[in-house]
Amino acid sequence: MMIAVKAPRKKLASILTASFGLLLPLPALVLLTLFAIVPLVVAAVLSFSSWSGAGPIHWVGFANWYNLLTNPASQSAFLRTLTAAVVSWVVEIAMGAALGIYLAGPRRYRKYLAIVYFLPMVLSSTAIGIVWANFMDPNFGALAPVLHDLGIHSAPALLGSPRTALYAVTAVICWQFIPFNTLLFMGGRRQIPETVYEAARIDGASPFRCLRSITLPQLRYTFVTASILIIVGSLGYFDLFLVMTNGGPGVSTQVLALRLYVQGFSTAQFGAASTIGVGLALVGLAVGVALVRLTGFGRMRSQQEGL
Amino acid sequence: MGVVAVRFEKDNGSPVNRRAVKRRRRSRREHPVAIISGAAWLVVILAPLWYLVTTSFRNQASYLSSNPWIPSGLTLANYDAIVQAGFGRFMLNSVLVAAASIVVVCVSGLAASYAIVRRTSRLATVVMYLALGCLALPAVSVVVPLYFVTQHLGLYNTLWAVILPVSTFGVPVAVLVFCTFLRDIPAELFDAMAVDGAATWLVFRRLALPMSVPAIAIVAVYQCVQSWNNLLFPLILTQSPNERVLPLVMYEFVGQFSLNVPGVLAAVVLSSAPLVFVYAVARKQIMGGIVAGYGR
């Protein structure tokens, strides 16, 4: 009896061992297919339909796509997404580069500063959104008294006014993601060999000249990578807008990702919501292909010049 | 160039050298602007966190009427209320989600990467391109169909509806990290084992797995942060109170306790504390993972 049970088990084990190489990619393949590829295909199909989630699916051709491109509401949602992306791109790149180069310097105290500087990276968008929304509250928040002391007397309702809300949330996006960009630039700066700087110093180059002629040119791949990541990231940017303003006041902070959420899960227009989703994915994938091309995943190429 | 530098330093008499030494000394001294801007950014980072922690200990009266920068009216009542509201259960859910998704991502990511780097089957190449493609896929793009897919699979409103999607979006990053790591293992080592007649499984277990431990740590910490902080998937794919994870709980507290801001902030502190602890013990891995995963 014992032998009879043992034998097939051994056989199974040996089959598994033999086909181990074939089985290896399967778990990842199943995950990616079930939860990314299939949904993306379903979204692409749904984008040609009008469907409320129950009952028959009506096929409407390119109506959703036409609507996405021409409807004033989605055009302004696109503009808001673009504004948030561009503003956060400029601020995050500038601050990230400045702080990253600063932290990569040789002085010891900067290592301790870095511990605090990078702390926001482990906080969730939900937590950050809640804290900042209350921090900016005109009546009980902590920002209003400071602004008052600085001479801005009518404590501005940063999130309550349609003129400022988009920029206020974008500022919080920057607060959240500047640490990440700082880390990228710090890593990039540390990879530039010190010998290059020594050579330049011996030739009489000032620190400013070193920055302009060595550091910034050598960091150009970091600039490219960080830029693409910020742009791709801001396409799907959703959490902070949901938590801080939920698109309001009115629809003044309704970015495309939030519009997708509202259309899909408040008004049950799954076709229109899927159209936004596929549109965002297409732009994201296009930028992603550029990322792969420019950073050269799959090749081993030195990014250092002049060595 | 280093040689030239040494020669100059030995040549003490030359005026060129004296100038160089002076310049070097000047650059060693810290510029006040650097100190001031460094401190200013420290304030920008710490101010909201100081507000968060101090306010979470305030009583309602102090919150409504006292200076928000100076702690006063301190109490533990907010934390007590949050714990009474069933916070332990939500914390447990988040721990389960994080643990399961770390295991799923590490296992599937490492296996796929080994297959990609060692080219064990054609499927591996397919997986590599899929993973690269998904690297730039925004999660919101697929959230509408995921709502139906999870219902069809019977996962809707279970923790698996959070675990599996959040793991899927971690797989591309894991593949990126693991491939970079495995590629650095010399091919001779693999060949030597193969010559000795070791099966693929044995090579994987005895060589690839032990060599990948630092990469596993990076991916695990990265996935821990991602799964702990994800709001989108639980928001859309779970419904009942028993399946709530912390970001969703925080989000819902804002609606429920809208008047009790210190209570909401206490929930934020409790939700964030575990990851701040992880940050304290595994800062290196967090940074490695975030940079490797390009922060998504």
Would an 8 Å CB–CB cutoff place A270 in contact with chain B? yes
The alpha carbon of residue B276 is apart from the nearest alpha carbon of chain A, in Å, by 7
C-alpha B155/C-alpha B163 separation (Å) is: 10
Interchain CB contacts (distance < 8 Å): A and B? 310
Which neighbouring-strand residues pair with A50? Answer: A58
Would an 8 Å CB–CB cutoff place A296 in contact with chain B? no
Q: Are B136 and A285 in contact (CB under 8 A)?
A: yes
Residue A50: enclosing H or E segment and its boundaries?
strand A49-50
Q: Please provide the DSSP assignment of A145-203 as one string.
A: HHHHHTT--S---TTTSTTTHHHHHHHHHHHHHHHHHHHHHHHHHHTS-HHHHHHHHHT
Contacts of B126 in chain A (CB under 8 A): 25, 29
* pLDDT at position A191: 84
Q: Are B82 and B89 in contact (CB under 8 A)?
A: no
Question: Residue B145: which of A46, A116, A201 has the nearest Cβ?
Answer: A46
C-alpha B34/C-alpha A37 separation (Å) is: 48
Would an 8 Å CB–CB cutoff place A197 in contact with chain B? no
Instruction: Give the CA distances from residue B150 to residues A240, B64, B183, B240, in Å, rounded to whole numbers and listed in that order.
Output: 25, 44, 36, 15
Of B140, B169, B234, whose CA–CA distance to A77 is shortest?
B140
Q: In chain B, which residue's Cα lies nearest the Cα of A281?
A: B137
Contacts of B4 in chain A (CB under 8 A): 199, 202
The alpha carbon of residue B243 is apart from the nearest alpha carbon of chain A, in Å, by 18
Interchain pair B247, A124: CB under 8 A: yes
Interchain pair B140, A32: CB under 8 A: no
The alpha carbon of residue B228 is apart from the nearest alpha carbon of chain A, in Å, by 8
Interchain pair B2, A292: CB under 8 A: no
Interchain pair A280, B37: CB under 8 A: no
What torsion do the CA atoms of B157, B159, B161, B162 make, to the nearest 10 degrees? 120
- Chain centre to alpha carbon of residue B79: 26
Of B115, B174, B116, B128, whose CA–CA distance to A24 is shortest?
B115
Would an 8 Å CB–CB cutoff place A145 in contact with chain B? yes
Interchain pair B287, A25: CB under 8 A: no
Q: In chain B, which residue's Cα lies nearest the Cα of A293?
A: B132
Interchain pair A39, B120: CB under 8 A: no
Residue at B199: amino acid letter: A
The pair of structure tokens assigned to A89 is 């791109």
Task: For the domain made up of A58-295, give the CATH fold.
Answer: MetI-like fold (1.10.3720)
Q: Helices B246-256 and B261-281 sit at what angle, rounded to 10 degrees? A: 160
Q: Is A56 helix (H, G, I), strand (E, B) or coil?
A: coil
| pLDDT of chain A, 307 residues: tens digit per residue | 444 445 556 677 677 666 777 888 999 999 999 999 999 999 999 999 888 878 788 888 888 899 889 999 999 999 999 999 999 999 999 999 999 999 988 888 888 888 899 999 889 999 999 999 999 988 888 888 888 788 776 656 888 888 889 999 999 999 999 998 998 898 888 888 889 999 999 998 888 888 888 898 888 878 888 887 888 888 888 899 999 998 878 899 999 999 999 998 888 889 999 999 999 999 888 876 776 676 655 443 444 444 4
Count CB-CB contacts under 10 A for residue A146. Answer: 13
Contacts of A281 in chain B (CB under 8 A): 137-138, 141-142
Three-state secondary structure readout of B72-99: CCECCHHHHHHHHCCHHHHHHHHHHHHH
Three-state secondary structure readout of chain B: CHHHHHHHHHCCCCHHHHHHHHHHHHHHCCCHHHHHHHHHHHHHHHHHHHHHHHHHCECHHHHHHCCCCCCCCECCHHHHHHHHCCHHHHHHHHHHHHHHHHHHHHHHHHHHHHHHHHCCCHHHHHHHHHHHHHHCCCHHHHHHHHHHHHHHCCCCCCCHHHHHHHHHCCHHHHHHHHHHHHHCCCHHHHHHHHHCCCCHHHHHHHHHHHHCHHHHHHHHHHHHHHHHHCCHHHHHHCCCHHHCCHHHHHHHHHHHCCCCHHHHHHHHHHHHHHHHHHHHHCHHHHHHHHHHCCCC
Look at phi and psi of residue A246 and say left if phi exceeds 0, alpha if psi is from -120 to 50, else beta: left
Contacts of A34 in chain B (CB under 8 A): 149, 153, 164, 168
The alpha carbon of residue B138 is apart from the nearest alpha carbon of chain A, in Å, by 5
Of B40, B227, B119, whose CA–CA distance to A122 is shortest?
B227
* pLDDT at position B67: 84
Interchain pair B286, A122: CB under 8 A: yes
The backbone torsions φ and ψ at residue B182, rounded to the nearest 5 degrees and listed phi first, read -65, -30
Contacts of B261 in chain A (CB under 8 A): 134, 140
Residue A106: enclosing H or E segment and its boundaries?
none
Q: In chain B, which residue's Cα lies nearest the Cα of A268?
A: B144
Q: How many residues does chain B have?
A: 296
C-alpha A119/C-alpha A183 separation (Å) is: 11
C-alpha B144/C-alpha A281 separation (Å) is: 13
Interchain pair B145, A175: CB under 8 A: no
| pLDDT of chain B, 296 residues: tens digit per residue | 333 333 334 444 455 555 555 555 445 567 888 889 999 999 999 999 999 999 999 998 888 888 888 888 888 989 998 898 888 999 999 999 999 999 999 999 999 999 998 887 788 889 998 998 888 888 999 999 999 999 999 999 999 999 999 999 999 989 988 988 888 888 888 888 877 777 778 888 888 888 888 889 889 988 998 999 999 999 999 988 889 999 999 998 888 877 789 999 999 999 999 999 988 888 887 777 666 644 33
The backbone torsions φ and ψ at residue A231, rounded to the nearest 5 degrees and listed phi first, read -70, -45
- Listed in sequence order, the residues at least 6 apart from B221 whose beta carbon sits closer than 8 Å to its beta carbon are B278, B282, B285, B286, B289
Domain boundaries, chain A: 58-295
* pLDDT at position B110: 94
Residue A58: enclosing H or E segment and its boundaries?
strand A58-59
* pLDDT at position B269: 95
Q: In chain A, which residue's Cα lies nearest the Cα of B26?
A: A207
Q: What domains are there in chain B, each with its CATH number?
A: 2-78 (no CATH), 81-292 (1.10.3720.10)
Question: Residue A17: which of B45, B127, B199 has the nearest Cβ?
Answer: B199
Cis peptide bond upstream of A249, omega within 30: yes
Q: Which of B63, B121, B141, B152 to substitute to test the interface with A, most A CBs within 10 Å?
A: B141
Contacts of A299 in chain B (CB under 8 A): none
Q: Is A11 helix (H, G, I), strand (E, B) or coil?
A: helix
Interchain pair B145, A34: CB under 8 A: no
Interchain pair A124, B132: CB under 8 A: no
Q: Which of A126, A136, A246, A289 to substitute to test the interface with B, most B CBs within 10 Å?
A: A126
Interchain pair A29, B130: CB under 8 A: yes
- Chain centre to alpha carbon of residue B77: 31
Would an 8 Å CB–CB cutoff place A271 in contact with chain B? no
* pLDDT at position B48: 95
Interchain pair A32, B171: CB under 8 A: yes
> 């650059």: which residue's tokens?
B27
